[in-house]
Amino acid sequence: MFKKIISAILFVVLFSSIAEAKYVRFAVNMKGSGMLSSNDAYMVSTFQSEIGMGLDMANGYLHLIQSTTDTNIYYSPVYNIPAFQEYEYFFVLGSNGYSSENVPIESQDPSNGLRWFYVDSLGNDTLQMPAVFYSGNNTATDTMYRFRVNMSNETVSANGVYVGPFKSFNPSTYKMYSFGNGVYEYMAFFAQNSSLFYKFYNGNNANGETVPSNCTTITSFREIDSVINAQILPIVCFGSCVNCYPLNTTNVNKNNGITLSPNPMSTNATITFNDLASSHSVSIIDIYGRTIKYYKNITINSFSIDKEMMNASCYFVQIVNDKNEQTTLKLIVE
């Protein structure tokens, strides 16, 4: 009887682990990487402890194997990774990481400069990550585009936010991820010089947003005439051709006491959090809707912003706390 109970417990634990995870396989194109040996391809990631492969971001655990059909391509084993989470990773050379790639800004997690991906579903099918070039955005055949939509003025569906249709007319195929600033993102890969038609979907329904006529033609979709260089597309508000300000005020705590000073600033400014929240994320957004700086999981009571990469202009400082309360402040940089 005791053995049966133990067996049942082990089955439940194993089943729960499998039921809440997704199979994922990574790939990289090492052409031009300067790799010394065909045995030197590795990656490191923030999911390692989750799958029992050493500490997160530790070298030497996630070994990549050379493809038999294209010797430039290296694949990982298929990993069973817990679902509905965002993870970071990057590729390195050697079991001790004697060299690591420089991840281009277009492919970076905005908070730490690493590659990122979101495990968006469950199931026994395997998510095949694209074989991007080492220190690159693209694959040997396809170009990366990063889509972004501001959902701050919408009640976001419990099913999530999607973009498409791209290669599939199923609106639930391409689920977007938010880094906590009301903006949802998705990276997709397309053949060079191809044309695209797409829209954003609040939930996995077949209708999607109503695209204004001044940013579409006869298709009722958003359009890209020709895929060229890898790029981060400008943020647009859901159902609009431009970004939206002010952001959603229905869940903004207007009396939270958050302050920003000095304003205008010449070298740096300090945000003081007085809203009794335990953590905050901060986005610095320029007048074109581009997020130029992003900081997440700030757990201290005050936080300093420096002028680095900020020209004299007007900016928006968007603050989201762990209660999902949003505050947007205007910042003038001299």
> Can you give the CATH number for the domain in which 273 is found?
2.60.40.10
Verify that 275 and 213 share a domain, yes or no: no
Q: How many domains does the chain have?
A: 3
Which pLDDT value is given to residue 10?
Answer: 35
> Are 182 and 267 contacting, i.e. CB atoms less than 8 angstroms apart?
no
Provide the 10 A C-beta neighbour count for residue 171: 21
Q: Which domain holds residue 264?
A: 259-333
Task: pLDDT tens for the chain, 334 residues: list them.
Answer: 433 333 333 333 333 344 488 999 999 999 999 999 999 999 999 999 999 999 999 999 999 999 999 999 999 999 999 999 999 999 999 999 999 999 999 999 988 889 999 998 877 789 999 999 999 999 999 999 999 999 988 899 999 999 988 766 666 688 999 987 789 999 999 999 998 889 999 988 777 899 888 787 667 888 888 998 999 988 889 998 877 754 433 333 444 678 888 988 899 999 998 888 888 888 887 765 667 788 888 899 888 999 887 888 878 888 888 777 778 788 888 8
Q: What is the pTM of this model?
A: 0.71
Verify that 269 and 319 share a domain, yes or no: yes
Verify that 266 and 223 share a domain, yes or no: no
- Asked whether residue 247 is assigned to any structural domain, the reply reads no
**Residue 182 backbone class (left: φ over 0; alpha: ψ -120 to 50; beta: rest):** left
Which pLDDT value is given to residue 12?
Answer: 35
The phi, psi pair for 235, rounded to 5°, reads -70, 135
Verify that 317 and 263 share a domain, yes or no: yes
Verify that 181 and 297 share a domain, yes or no: no
Which pLDDT value is given to residue 289?
Answer: 61
Enter the tokens of residue 26: 């990574």
Q: State the SS3 of 164-186.
A: EECCCCCCCCCECEECCCCEEEE
pLDDT digits (tens, 9 = 90+) for 167-224: 666 666 889 999 877 899 999 999 999 988 899 999 887 778 998 887 876 678 888 8
Which pLDDT value is given to residue 167?
Answer: 64
Which pLDDT value is given to residue 219?
Answer: 72
Verify that 109 and 147 share a domain, yes or no: no
- Is 118 exposed, middle or buried (CB count within 10 Å of its CB: 0-12, 13-18, 19+)? middle
- Asked whether residue 252 is assigned to any structural domain, the reply reads no
User: CA torsion, points 249, 314, 145, 70, in degrees to nearest 10?
Assistant: -120
- Asked whether residue 246 is assigned to any structural domain, the reply reads no
Query: Cα 147 to the chain's mean position, in Å?
Result: 10
- Point out the domain boundary residue: 140, 174, 200: 140
> Are 23 and 79 contacting, i.e. CB atoms less than 8 angstroms apart?
yes
Residues 6+ positions from 97 with CB-CB distance below 8 Å: 42, 44, 59, 60
Which pLDDT value is given to residue 288?
Answer: 58
- Point out the domain boundary residue: 87, 116, 140: 140
